[in-house]
Structure 1
Amino acid sequence: PFAASWPVDAIVAENGAVAMVRQPEAPLQRTGPAAQSDAVRVHPMGPGGPVLAKIYQQDAATRAAQYARMQEVLAGIERDIPGARRATDSAGRECDIAIDHSEFVQLPQPAIDAVVQRMRAEGMHATVSSIHVNGWYGEHDKLAGARWIVRALFGRTLDAEIGRWVYVGDSTNDQKMFEAFPHSVGVAN
């Protein structure tokens, strides 16, 4: 909900799988794969206020199958790795899972390593951020998500104009973004 008040065109989330896009009264214009899918949900932010549309890189059937599998992996991690607990924002996640390691829980490094190993053994991508271990299925990542949303919203190619953009990140899982963007800022979380 707070994101609707930010002066941005879109917020890419869940390791590039999802974007929350400010939608005025006019319908969201989409190009690329999102335009041919059922990949939009609209969230009104209050009477007369802005609306956020959620758009996805994957279709609903793919997301549903991956979500079910991720929930099984998440339950197994919580059951089998002592101290491992899902992140407090897990209820809002649709395209990835997150294990808290430093936000509200202090998970020791061997447990963090075990979570990453378990996710990868289950065929997931896994990254460690400053507060979570994130896992997901699919070929998206933060950089692919940034490229996707620039193409979908503006009909442009991010790489052709990347020198005009600035990336701000706070974590080791932002490495691809820091490498791709000539102008980037690393901040403390």
Structure 2
Amino acid sequence: MSFLGQAPRPEQLRGVRYLFTDIDDTLTTQGRLLPETYQAIWDLHNAGIEVVPVTGGSAGWCEHIVRAWPVVAVIGESGALAMTLSGGKVDLTFWEDEAIQTERQARHLEAIQPLLGKFVLSADQRFRLADIAIEIAGHSRQEVDALARRIHALGASVAISSIHINSWHGNYDKRTMSERVLHQLNVSPHEIAASTAFVGDSRNDAPMFGFFSNAFGVANILPVLADIPTKPRWISSRPAGLGFVDIAHTLIAARTMPQV
């Protein structure tokens, strides 16, 4: 378990009870969830550290995750919604109101379509309830940023991940919905710094790096690190899902290490 630069000290992480984490290229490796990464999520759960995936991914993906993974909640569509599981029933919470957010999404999609050119919508767009996701694979950084600027000029929020441009109308993002979920989990504001951590890999994780004191990046964040105003406090030496494994084991070791 190695880190680039200074590694975290156990006493800095001993109180962590909730790990918020991005999914694409943080948990996944080349689009797949490695067995050791999935096991690390279980290891965290069994050690008393609950995992909350925070993703730009669709509501459809989120329902599968909250049902099948050992997570306490999942935040989707860049903060548009959150899901928990209770008695086998998925509880879905929107940032505002489902009808309002769905209507905004329809109008926004209509406005974006003429701007796409050679860009295409994400394959999971049909399973989204509030935002728009645009595939960026095969496009240059300049092309991606230019499209993002054009969409932002429409008055929309825009976030760029390692795989998508996500865009929406609404006063929310990953951070604001994370704060709401923490409130629902009965974590008081003065407990957040010591009891939570976050791990991410991309530009759209910038609000999270600025909010969580115990912020980690996986090694594949390095190419975009200069674009992130508040850098992650620690960066794993391994990328993507393997970096997540190292971070998970570091958190577990800190939580289970005897105090002297």
State the TM bucket, normalised to the shorter chain.
0.7 to 0.9
> Is residue 113 of structure 2 the alignment partner of residue 75 of structure 1?
yes
Which one of the candidate residues 107, 132, 152 is aligned to 1:97?
132
- Cα 1:157–1:138 change in 2 (3 A) is farther
| Structure 2 residue aligned with 1:7 | 70
> Is residue 150 of structure 2 the alignment partner of residue 118 of structure 1?
yes
TM-score normalised to structure 2 length: 0.56
**Long gaps (5+) in structure 2:** 1-63, 219-238, 241-260
**Residues 35-184 of structure 1 correspond to what in structure 2 (within 5 A)?**
50-78=88-116, 81=117, 83-102=118-137, 106-151=138-183, 153-158=184-189, 160-184=191-215
TM-score normalised to structure 1 length: 0.75
- Cα 1:2–1:148 change in 2 (3 A) is closer
- 1:138 and 1:159 map into 2 onto residues whose CA distance is 27
Contact 1:84 1:111 in 2 (8 A): no
Contact 1:74 1:86 in 2 (8 A): no
- 1:186 and 1:143 map into 2 onto residues whose CA distance is 16
Report which stretch shifted further, 53-62 or 139-148: 53-62
Dislocated runs of 4+, deviation >3 Å: 155-160
- Cα 1:132–1:71 change in 2 (3 A) is same
Return the letter of the residue paired with 2:200. Answer: G
Per-residue CA deviation, residues 93-139 of structure 1 (Å, 9 max, x unaligned), is 1111111112xxx1122321222112111110111111111111111
Q: How much identity, in percent, do the aligned residues show?
A: 29
**Long gaps (5+) in structure 1:** 25-49
Contact 2:133 2:164 in 1 (8 A): yes
Q: How many residues align?
A: 157
CA RMSD of aligned residues (A): 1.8
Return the letter of the residue paired with 1:143. Answer: R
Return the letter of the residue paired with 1:7. Answer: P
